[in-house]
Amino acid sequence: MVEIQVPEVLPKNEYLKLPPSERELYVREILRQTVRKNVDGVTASMLAQQLPFDSRTIEKHLSVLTCTNEIYSVKIGNTPLYLPNSIPMHHAKKKAFAIKNREYLAYILQNRMGEFVFIQEKKKTEFAEEIGGGILIPLADFEQFVNFISAFNKDIDASKKSS
């Protein structure tokens, strides 16, 4: 069994008592923390061996974390290896912008695929913070992306004026 670093977790009988929505939050956060702790990557089976969650739960949450770009996977043979995405390269270059209960974070990160600008949406509930989504734009193409957004904004303005 390959040892991976895992955060402190609740015993299985305790976490199962949590209300369903909080249980989902809990499992996702533990998986997020576990992948972040293991910068060389983890597989779903490693996680299932060392965390008190069943394989289906783990796979479900890994796919959510992949969709929001918090983690990414590379295939080693037939096995996906999950790696953390959200480790900023330059903390000083991290910027945040809040709209009501949502916060948009932009920062530069580097993963095995290269350097990216990561734009992430965080949703704040009364007690928790959840990642709503995230997009990765290659750093080299970021200016093009900004131009595209500016042009889109102009289109919005124009359509507002015409209507």
Cα–Cα distance for residue pair 9/16, rounded to 1 Å: 12
C-beta of 31: minimal distance to other proteins in Å?
Answer: 10
According to the binding rule CB under 8 A, does residue 14 interact with other proteins? yes
- 106-135 residues in contact with other proteins (CB under 8 A) are 124-129
Longest alpha-carbon distance in the chain? 65
85 within 8 A of 111, measured Cβ to Cβ: yes
According to the binding rule CB under 8 A, does residue 157 interact with other proteins? no
All residues at 6 or more sequence positions from 23 whose CB lies less than 8 Å from its CB, including other chains: 15, 16
Distances (CA, A) of 141 to 65, 69, 116, 121, 145: 24, 18, 9, 21, 6
Binding segment (CB under 8 A) for other proteins, from list 2-10, 60-68, 88-96, 137-145: 2-10
24-53 mask for other proteins (x: CB under 8 A)?
-xx--xx--x--------------------
Question: Among residues 19 and 77, whose Cβ is nearest to other proteins?
Answer: 19
- Chain positions contacting other proteins, by CB under 8 A: 7-10, 14-15, 17-19, 22, 25-26, 29-30, 33, 124-129
